[in-house]
C-alpha cells in the first residue's frame, strides 16, 4: 500500500507543473461587459450576447507585446477560422488599456479576433490574478458553452497547449451537439 502510494506521488510529481484553472469545468462563468478591440477598432463586448451566438473561447494573458503573449496571440490568430467554423467566438483578455489593445489587435492578433481590457473585478471573478502582480492576470484559457457553463479550463504560463486544448474542447462540444 505504501509502495503504491509512493509510486502514485512520484508519478504526479513527474507531470508538468500546471496551475489549476480557477473556474472548474461545470462552473457558471461570471458575466461581464468590457471594451474590446478588433482590427484596431474599439467596441463594446458582452459575454452574455456572445454566448447567444455559440461557445466563447475566453483566454486571459498577462500583457500585450510580451514574448509569451505575442506567441499565444499568433497561435489564436492562426486558429481563428477553425473556431469560427465551429461557431465559437475567441476573445483574449488582459489588464492592458484599450489604446495598447488597439495596436496589439492589429499587429499580433492580425485582425482575426478581439482582445479586451479585463477589469480588476473580471480578473478576480475568474480568479486569474497573477500571484506576483495582482494588477495582471495569469495565462488561463476557458471554453464557455452557450448555457454559460465552463466546459474546458487550462492554466499554464507557457502559451503552448492553450489553442490546441480550447480547439479540441470546442470540437468535442460541436460533435455532441451535431452528433
Tens digits of per-residue pLDDT, 41-68? 999 999 999 999 999 999 999 999 999 9
Residues in a beta bridge with 169 = none
Residue 168: predicted pLDDT: 98
Average pLDDT on 143-155 reads: 97
Question: What average pLDDT does the structure give for the chain?
Answer: 89
69 a catalytic residue: yes
| Other Cβ atoms closer than 10 A to 25 | 13
- Whether the pTM exceeds 0.85: the reply is yes
How far is the C-alpha of 98 from the C-alpha of 149, rounded, in Å? 27
Residues 95 and 136 sit within 8 Å (Cβ to Cβ): yes
Residues 154 and 51 sit within 8 Å (Cβ to Cβ): no
Residue 3: predicted pLDDT: 41
Average pLDDT on 3-24 reads: 44
Which percentage of the chain shows pLDDT scores above 70? 88
Residues 120 and 83 sit within 8 Å (Cβ to Cβ): no
Distances (CA, A) of 87 to 36, 46, 54: 19, 17, 5
The CATH code that applies to domain 18-178 is: 3.40.30.10
Confidence band for 6, pLDDT divided at 50, 70 and 90: very low
Residue 179: predicted pLDDT: 62
Please check the confidence at residue 8 and state whether its pLDDT lies above 50.
no
- Annotated active-site residue in 69, 95, 136, 169: 69
Residue 134: predicted pLDDT: 87
How far is the C-alpha of 96 from the C-alpha of 116, rounded, in Å? 8
Residue 52: predicted pLDDT: 97
Which percentage of the chain shows pLDDT scores above 90? 83
How far is the C-alpha of 2 from the C-alpha of 21, rounded, in Å? 30
Residues 139 and 61 sit within 8 Å (Cβ to Cβ): yes
**Alpha helices for the chain (secondary structure H):** 2-14, 47-51, 67-85, 98-107, 120-125, 162-178
Amino acid at each position: 500500500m505504501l509502495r503504491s502510494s509512493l509510486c502514485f506521488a512520484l508519478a504526479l510529481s513527474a507531470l508538468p507543473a500546471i496551475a489549476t484553472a480557477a473556474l472548474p469545468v461545470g462552473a457558471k462563468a461570471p458575466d461581464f461587459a468590457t471594451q474590446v478591440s478588433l482590427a484596431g477598432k474599439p467596441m463594446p463586448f458582452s459575454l452574455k450576447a456572445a454566448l447567444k451566438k455559440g461557445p466563447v473561447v475566453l483566454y486571459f494573458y498577462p500583457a500585450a507585446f510580451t514574448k509569451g503573449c505575442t506567441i499565444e496571440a499568433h497561435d489564436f490568430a492562426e486558429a481563428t477560422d477553425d473556431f469560427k467554423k465551429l461557431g465559437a467566438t475567441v476573445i483574449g483578455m488582459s489588464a492592458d488599456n484599450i489604446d495598447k489593445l488597439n495596436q496589439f489587435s492589429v499587429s499580433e492578433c492580425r485582425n482575426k479576433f478581439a482582445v479586451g481590457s479585463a477589469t480588476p473585478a473580471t480578473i478576480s471573478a475568474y480568479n486569474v490574478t497573477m500571484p506576483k502582480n495582482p494588477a495582471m492576470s495569469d495565462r488561463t484559457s476557458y471554453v464557455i458553452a452557450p448555457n454559460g457553463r465552463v466546459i474546458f479550463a487550462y492554466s499554464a504560463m507557457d502559451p503552448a497547449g492553450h489553442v490546441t486544448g480550447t480547439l479540441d474542447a470546442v470540437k468535442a462540444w460541436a460533435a455532441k451537439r451535431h452528433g
